[in-house]
Amino acid sequence: MVNNLKVNDINDIDVDQNINIINDFSIQVATPNGSGSQTSNLVLLRSLFKMGIPSSGKNLFPSNIQGMPTWYTIRCSQAGYVARRDSIQIMVLMNPETALQDINNIQSGGVCLYPESAKYNFDREDITYYPMPVKRLAKESGVSSALRPYVSNMVYVGVLASVLSIDLLEIESALSWHFKGRQKLVDTNMPVIQAAFDWSRENLTKTDRFQVERTNSTDGTIMVDGNFAAALGAIYGGVTVMAWYPITPSTSLADSLTEYARLLRHDAEGHATYSIIQAEDELAAAGMIMGAGWAGARAMTATSGPGISLMSEFAGFGYYAEIPAVIWDVQRVGPSTGLPTRVSQGDLTACHWSSHGDTEHICLLPGNVAECFEFGWRAFDIAEQYQTPVFVLSDLDLGMNNWMTKPFNYPDKPMNRGKVLTADQVNENGFKRYFDLDGDGIPYRTLPGTVANGASYFTRGSGHDESAKYSEDPLDYATNMSRLRRKIDSSRETLPAPIVEHNKTASIGFVGFGSTDPAIIEARDRLAVIGVASSYLRIRALPASLTVSDFIASHERVYVVEMNIEGQLHKLIQIQSPELATKVLSLAHCDGLPLTASCIVSEILEQERGPNGKIKD
Amino acid sequence: MGKSRINTNLIGLEKQDYKGSPTTLCAGCGHNSISSQIITAAFELGLQPEQVIKISGIGCSSKSPAYFMNRSFAFNSVHGRMPSVASGAMLANRDLVTIGISGDGDTGSIGLGQFKHAMRRNTPMIYIVENNGVYGLTKGQFSVTADEGQNLKYYGKNDLPPLDLCLEAIVADCGFVARSFAGDPKQVRPLLKAAISYDGAALLDIISPCVAFNNTSDSTKGYDWVKEHDDPLHDITYIPIQEEVTTQYNPGDTSMVTLHDGSQILLRKLDESYDPTDKLGAIQALQSANNEESLLTGLIYYDPNRPNLIQSENLVESPLVQLTTDALRPNEESLSQIMSNL
């Protein structure tokens, strides 16, 4: 059975049977970048989602403003799978440059929509072609020639609505939502969609078998991107100083923060209870949040790989001088400029050990948009509790693409402002900035402006003693560093705990983090179908809970799934549990695209197959 | 009674309350005399020491916050990044008084960008550059303010022209640009006080000779040269808000500048034609002085009208760090509303 399994999912929707395929297909729209197709794609996605069809949308875009190829993929999955999938059933070819390559990516039995004016000589006979009169319908819409390229993209919305039976009312309300209720824009676009729909009904004979049906599967869910979620989380976490520098794919986090803070965070006179500064660079952004965190603000920045490199000096400063701050890293592909608009999880070790000298930073690893929101506020509590910079590692897929989620839960804990002494407390008990009074490695701090005898201290990145005085004394240095070690270690079991699904019958387990979650879920289901049971542990923070070691110990083999080349989490786990190192195998894969279940399944079958071709016990 | 009055300031503190730790800089270093002027200025103005933050970068200059105002909070940051740390701290707590201490290497090289951006944003802070034209801690390399053609023992001849930090500040729209000399406490002190009273970014570029590496007779950053070539624009008197101006002055040869807190500085003009509110004139005067190898000192440029960073950020009156959960965490209903609109 295993040997017959199609591990490459290029043809994984079963179209051989002569029955309709309901709510289970992928639509890909190929366009030149900057041609204004995003509105059309998001409207389609939202319409499908609002019809109750579990859907996800992924934008595969180039590092370019205009002209280079872009693909937007919408996956509908009645089973609720939202990971990327290689196979495409319905292709909309709006980019002549990539048409010949795109046509080959359509699954046999699939559909190809294209502008009839393109006059392609396609030779595939196993797919259905629907040429669309794009130019004519755009022209007949009566919009100015400047707007015509935009409304042109509405033609495929109308044709798809007709071919797949997408409710036009849902499309209209998605348009209205997208344009934030501006009726004039709806009135410009909707007639084109309607005209294309009508043309399609009159002129096309449906020969494919894909269609949608309304369900209630998305009731009670919303659809948002992770950067929005993170920004909103930060606002409810009481962020007071945000300093940032534009960089893909983190920019929309700062943009969302700006948009929603303006709505939510001002006093009765309209004065802001926060400050958002677009710094001159990431060095300055890091400096600003250090200064702000030191002064007592809930300070954060959002950046991506190159910014992480630039901020590393201050990360080390914050670790050593013990300054709370939150650093969001919306990861893209490195090293160096890498692939700026593609996804990876390649910054794990760079963040965990950021800066020269011995450091170990707390890292939070949200695996879905709800956790982007939750860690958005919790990160401040953790940073202030441990008086240290906290990294939150999202990525381009999680941050910039749209995901279904339950509405976010309001913070269920009061703010934890950490060990901050008041003037009275200082006057009563005295104060030594780096003295481990409680034995937990976490000292007390005072905020600048605290008027009390002995409240002030000298913060420095150079060697210091318990009283924050300059010291090159070997014992002072060693004592301080070992306290910092203890402090970070003590966070291990208080940070967001791993999510564990322990399958008692399984001999293998998966360990993952972040946005690979949907691919791992889907891969496990597919493996289960062919008799390969598995357990799953998703790490949500570093330093990792010792639960991870227990999980490894209770399985024969554990695969660490991650989107990078070196297997960074795999190595971190081996370091944490050297005695279990041989049981931990790396399933690291990175090509800039979100991970697919097929990739995991084929890798597992490869590794789990014994010499006789059978799956190991 | 009478005696204690003499020894305490407006808020009842003694000068001792503004002292720092013993300096570890070289004997005769200009930085030490700047530190002592900061102590005196802060004492005389009656600043609450704990409300003052001392932010610095890296270098000899950046060590000096340890040598004044021990009761203040200090942040000795990383090289060239004092301005960003100071900006963050000010945004967090607008009630603080920020004294930024930097040097010509810290500000003019690695920190030039942050320096100019802090000026451009008008971050409320006193930005002191202790300018000696040389790297002291690494033993005598030229800095960007070193003279073109100058020779130093270990590094030979400097082929590059100097950057003038006052010019850089003016073109970045800093509204308080002053230059002085560490060996002239009578000028440094009123300028310091005026800078503290100014509600925006105030640059004090203070020539502060390095006795170890750059105090040669031909260095424009040496004691002898400056004493010979100092060209003060005016005699400066700082008049705190509490004191009425009683001195008789002739408006023709004096000008009065009122600072944001109501205090004033009286500039008794030495150069009749000089107007510190004329931006182009200030640029021209600096450039001419550089061409003529003289050192222009005093309040070179003054513009009180630009909004500072706190104002342009439209911040609430209360420092952000003092806001409680009520102000920081929007209510549960607001979240439900956002969720239901998605």
Which string of DSSP letters, residue by residue, matches A152-181?
Answer: HHHHHHHHHHHHHT--HHHHHHHHHHHTTT
Give the class (CATH, top level) of A7-211: alpha beta
Q: Check residue A14 and give its pLDDT.
A: 64
Which of B77, B114, B330 has the CB atom closest to A317's CB atom?
B77
A240 vs B328: CB contact, 8 Å cut-off?
yes
| Mean confidence (pLDDT) of chain A | 95
Q: Check residue A192 and give its pLDDT.
A: 97
**Closest residue in chain B to residue A269, using alpha carbons only:** B316
Asked if pLDDT for residue B245 goes beyond 70, the answer is no
Taking a contact as any Cβ pair under 8 Å apart, which residues of chain B between 37 and 66 contact chain A? Answer: 48-51, 53, 55, 65-66
Q: Check residue B50 and give its pLDDT.
A: 98
Give the pLDDT band (50/70/90) at residue B293.
confident
Taking a contact as any Cβ pair under 8 Å apart, which residues of chain B between 67 and 106 contact chain A? Answer: 70-78, 81, 83-93, 95-96
Placement of tokens 């109308």 in the chain: A158
Residue B223 neighbours by CB under 8 Å, 6+ apart: B183, B209, B215
Q: What is the pTM of this model?
A: 0.96
Of A283, A374, A371, A375, give the one whose Cα is nearest residue A326: A375
Q: In chain B, pLDDT over 70 holds for what percent of residues?
A: 96
Q: Check residue A10 and give its pLDDT.
A: 41
Considering just the CA atoms, what is the radius of gyration of chain A in Å?
Answer: 27
The HSE-up count of residue A194 (CA atoms within 13 Å, CB side) is 11
Q: Check residue A172 and give its pLDDT.
A: 98
Distance (Å, whole) CA A511 – CA A561: 6
- Residues B2-8, mean pLDDT to the nearest whole number: 64
Dig out the tokens for A156 from the structure. 């495929």
Sign of the C-alpha dihedral, residues A503, A509, A512, A518? negative
Which of A286, A296, A460 has the CB atom closest to B76's CB atom?
A460
For chain B, the residue count is 342
Sequential DSSP letters for A377-393: HHHHHHHHHHTSEEEEE
Dig out the tokens for A491 from the structure. 């966070």
- For residue A543, whether the previous peptide bond is cis, meaning omega lies within 30 degrees of 0, is yes
Q: Which residues pair with A392 in a beta bridge?
A: A328, A364
Distance (Å, whole) CA A607 – CA A595: 18
Asked if pLDDT for residue B85 goes beyond 70, the answer is yes
B342 vs A295: CB contact, 8 Å cut-off?
no
Q: What residues make up the domain containing B20?
A: 2-338
Q: Check residue A6 and give its pLDDT.
A: 39
Placement of tokens 């554990």 in the chain: A558
pLDDT in tens, B260-277: 888 988 888 777 788 999
For chain A, the residue count is 617
Q: Are strands A584-588 and B52-56 parallel, antiparallel or unpaired?
A: unpaired
Dig out the tokens for A184 from the structure. 């004039």
Hey, do A7-211 and A224-405 end up sharing a CATH topology, with the first three levels equal?
no
Distance (Å, whole) CA A614 – CA A612: 5
Asked if pLDDT for residue B28 goes beyond 70, the answer is yes
Distance (Å, whole) CA A194 – CA A171: 10
Give the pLDDT band (50/70/90) at residue A3.
very low
Check if the beta carbon of residue A377 is closer than 8 Å to that of residue A411. Answer: yes
Q: How far is CA B342 from the centre of its chain?
A: 50
Give the pLDDT band (50/70/90) at residue A1.
very low
Give the pLDDT band (50/70/90) at residue A4.
very low
Q: CB distance from B22 to chain A under 8 Å?
A: no
Contacts 24+ apart (CB under 8 A), A6-10: A7/A598, A7/A601, A7/A602, A7/A605, A8/A86, A8/A598, A8/A602, A9/A85, A9/A86, A9/A87, A9/A596, A9/A597, A9/A598, A10/A86, A10/A87, A10/A105, A10/A107
- Residues A546-551, mean pLDDT to the nearest whole number: 97
Distance (Å, whole) CA A106 – CA A11: 9
- Residues B285-313, mean pLDDT to the nearest whole number: 94
Taking a contact as any Cβ pair under 8 Å apart, which residues of chain B between 225 and 284 contact chain A? Answer: none
Sheet with B254-258: strands ordered across: B234-239, B264-269, B254-258
Dig out the tokens for B123 from the structure. 């971050």
Give the pLDDT band (50/70/90) at residue A563.
very high
- 8-state DSSP, B252: T
Check if the beta carbon of residue A50 is closer than 8 Å to that of residue A392. Answer: no
Residues of chain A positioned with their CB less than 8 A from the CB of B338: 232, 260
Distances (CA, A) of A196 to A42, A286, B327: 18, 51, 51
Q: Check residue A9 and give its pLDDT.
A: 47
Residues of chain B positioned with their CB less than 8 A from the CB of A235: 330
Longest dimension (CA), chain A: 87
Q: Are strands A508-512 and A534-538 parallel, antiparallel or unpaired?
A: parallel
Q: How far is CA A140 from the centre of its chain?
A: 41
Q: What are phi and psi of A374, to 5 degrees?
A: -65, -45
Give the pLDDT band (50/70/90) at residue A383.
very high
Q: Check residue B8 and give its pLDDT.
A: 96
Of 3.90.930.12, 3.40.50.970, 3.30.710.10, 3.40.50.1820, which CATH number belongs to A224-405? 3.40.50.970
Placement of tokens 């905020």 in the chain: A447
Distance (Å, whole) CA A539 – CA A528: 22
Distance (Å, whole) CA A286 – CA A15: 53
Helices (H), A323-434: 348-352, 369-386, 396-400, 423-429
Check if the beta carbon of residue A475 is closer than 8 Å to that of residue A450. Answer: no
N- to C-terminal Cα separation, chain A: 15
Give the pLDDT band (50/70/90) at residue B242.
confident
Of B73, B144, B83, give the one whose Cα is nearest residue B113: B83
- Residues A198-226, mean pLDDT to the nearest whole number: 97
Of A242, A589, A80, A171, give the one whose Cα is nearest residue B92: A242
pLDDT in tens, A59-110: 998 888 888 999 999 999 999 999 999 999 999 999 999 999 999 999 999 9
Residue B312 neighbours by CB under 8 Å, 6+ apart: B121, B122
Question: Crossing angle for the helix pair B112-121 and B82-92, nearest 10 degrees?
Answer: 30
Residue B325 belongs to domain with CATH number? 3.40.50.970
Give the pLDDT band (50/70/90) at residue A16.
low
Q: Check residue B6 and give its pLDDT.
A: 63
Give the pLDDT band (50/70/90) at residue B255.
confident
Placement of tokens 């439209």 in the chain: B314
Asked if pLDDT for residue A290 goes beyond 80, the answer is yes
| Mean confidence (pLDDT) of chain B | 93
Q: Check residue B1 and give its pLDDT.
A: 45
Distance (Å, whole) CA B208 – CA B222: 8
Residues of chain A positioned with their CB less than 8 A from the CB of B332: 410
Check if the beta carbon of residue A80 is closer than 8 Å to that of residue A221. Answer: no
pLDDT in tens, A404-415: 999 999 999 999
Placement of tokens 């002494």 in the chain: A421
Residue A165 neighbours by CB under 8 Å, 6+ apart: A211, A212, A213
Q: How far is CA A174 from the centre of its chain?
A: 23
Domain spanning A499-608: CATH 3.30.70.1380: no
Sign of the C-alpha dihedral, residues B124, B130, B134, B139? negative
Query: Any idea where the domains of chain A sit in the sequence?
Result: 7-211, 224-405, 419-495, 499-608
Of A296, A294, A305, A253, give the one whose Cα is nearest residue A276: A253
Q: Check residue A263 and give its pLDDT.
A: 97
Dig out the tokens for B120 from the structure. 């451009």
Considering just the CA atoms, what is the radius of gyration of chain B in Å?
Answer: 21
Q: In chain A, pLDDT over 90 holds for what percent of residues?
A: 91
Dig out the tokens for B40 from the structure. 């005196």
N- to C-terminal Cα separation, chain B: 71
Minimum mean pLDDT range among A315-319, A478-482, B34-38, B264-268: B264-268
Asked if pLDDT for residue B146 goes beyond 80, the answer is yes
Q: CB distance from B123 to chain A under 8 Å?
A: no
Minimum mean pLDDT range among A134-148, A384-398, A478-492, A576-590: A134-148
Which of B74, B313, B330 has the CB atom closest to A235's CB atom?
B330
Check if the beta carbon of residue B142 is closer than 8 Å to that of residue B158. Answer: yes
Q: What are phi and psi of A99, to 5 degrees?
A: -55, -45
Distance (Å, whole) CA B298 – CA B234: 6
Q: How far is CA A346 from the centre of its chain?
A: 13
pLDDT in tens, A479-537: 999 999 999 999 999 999 999 999 999 999 999 999 999 999 999 999 999 999 999 99
Give the pLDDT band (50/70/90) at residue A7.
very low
pLDDT in tens, A333-343: 999 999 999 99
Of B133, B125, B77, B84, give the one whose Cα is nearest residue B108: B133
A274 vs B320: CB contact, 8 Å cut-off?
yes
